[in-house]
Amino acid sequence: MTFKKLLLVLAASAATLACSSKYDTLLMSNDVEAKYTAAFDYFNKGKFRKAANLFESLSVLTSGTERDDSVQYYWGLSNYKCKDYYTAEANFAKFINNFPRSVFTEEARYLRVDCLYRSTLRYELDQIPTYTALSSMEEFLRDYPSSEWAGDCRAKAKVLNDRLDKKAFENARLYYKMEDYKASRVAFKNIIKDDAENIYREDILYYIAMSSYKYAKNSVPEKQKERYMEFMDDYLNFIGELPDSPYCKELNAMYLRAQRAIGKAVGESDTDKMKDRDFEKERRELLKK
């Protein structure tokens, strides 16, 4: 390294140390005006971590003054810009509680919603943060239905509701994969009972029918008739609601097998009745679908 370059490096280091020393001194001082000006200067220059530290320090000094809401709001906003969403959410929650009528309140509430949204977890994990975020979104949309951020809140709420739908669906399907078909049917029916608009409704109705069919098929002979009848109810519910579903062909075949199984279970005379012309016509129509 040449002597000239060395001087430049030393000068830069000295300047950095001087700036750092100035910042540290300012951070520790009680000079409200200097801190306030510097905090916004750092914020406007994109130095959000330093701005956050200064706003945090200022929050004690400006408490109860006309600058209080600005300082607390920008403290949260600085942390938000740093992508420290956990701290920012806490900042905004405190701000909203302290200043429900501030000019910054609407945006602070939206930003808190966004922080909560970013803190949610994928569907396999605990969904308590998702419920917390959804509750916050509902409150925001109730109080600010025409807000410029209302559309974004609705879009985020849909993402989270879809995630909850997926979690419920996958939890129920786990029973099906484990071949616990009785529990599978109950779990899927509970989803429909609790949330008729679940985005996986078609798949859920399919798995309800398949669960009841497999449960009947694996049952002891004396229980099969009753359980195949349950499958037929589930089948008819599915076909009635979703006659054009790609699942229909498979379920039609299951339905015919169930009819034949019931015929065997109730005796030869009943089997003969099930093989009359009406049954043959129905069989041909089902197989065409």
The reported pLDDT for the residue numbered 199 is 98
Instruction: Work out the average pLDDT over 251-275.
Output: 70
Q: Evaluate if residue 60 carries a pLDDT over 90.
A: yes
Alpha-carbon distance of 219 to 213, in angstroms, equals 10
Residues contacting 67, CB < 8 A, separation 6+ = 36, 58
Q: Is 233 part of any domain?
A: yes
Q: Is 44 part of any domain?
A: no
Q: Is 275 part of any domain?
A: yes
Q: Is 161 part of any domain?
A: no
The reported pLDDT for the residue numbered 203 is 98
Q: Evaluate if residue 12 carries a pLDDT over 50.
A: no
Q: Which CATH number fits the domain that encloses residue 251? A: 1.25.40.10
Instruction: Work out the average pLDDT over 7-25.
Output: 57
Q: Is 184 part of any domain?
A: yes
Instruction: Work out the average pLDDT over 99-112.
Output: 97
Q: Evaluate if residue 274 carries a pLDDT over 50.
A: no
Angle in degrees, 0-180, between the axes of helices 201-217 and 221-241, rounded to the nearest 10: 160
Alpha-carbon distance of 16 to 98, in angstroms, equals 38
Q: Look-up: residue for tokens 């669906």?
A: 169
Q: Is 45 part of any domain?
A: no
Chain mean pLDDT for the chain: 88
The reported pLDDT for the residue numbered 84 is 97
- Condensed to tens digits (0 to 9), the pLDDT of residues 139-185 reads 999 999 999 999 999 999 999 999 999 999 999 999 999 999 999 99
Q: Evaluate if residue 1 carries a pLDDT over 80.
A: no
| Main-chain dihedrals φ then ψ at residue 66, nearest 5 degrees | -70, -15
As for how many domains the chain has, the answer is 1
Q: Evaluate if residue 4 carries a pLDDT over 90.
A: no
Q: Where are the alpha helices (DSSP H) in the chain?
A: 3-28, 32-44, 48-61, 68-81, 85-98, 105-118, 128-143, 150-177, 181-194, 201-217, 221-241, 248-266, 268-274, 277-288
Q: Is 174 part of any domain?
A: no
* Residue 15 pLDDT level (bands cut at 50, 70, 90): very low
Alpha-carbon distance of 40 to 253, in angstroms, equals 71
- Condensed to tens digits (0 to 9), the pLDDT of residues 192-208 reads 999 999 999 999 999 99
The reported pLDDT for the residue numbered 22 is 85
Q: Is 219 part of any domain?
A: yes
The reported pLDDT for the residue numbered 97 is 97
Q: Which of 37-51, 106-120, 133-147, 254-268 has the lowest mean pLDDT?
A: 254-268
Q: Evaluate if residue 9 carries a pLDDT over 80.
A: no
Q: Which two tokens stand for residue 34?
A: 């200097």
Q: Which domain holds residue 257?
A: 179-289
Q: Evaluate if residue 261 carries a pLDDT over 50.
A: yes
DSSP 151-197: HHHHHHHHHHHHHHHHHHHHHHHHHHHTT-HHHHHHHHHHHHHH-TT
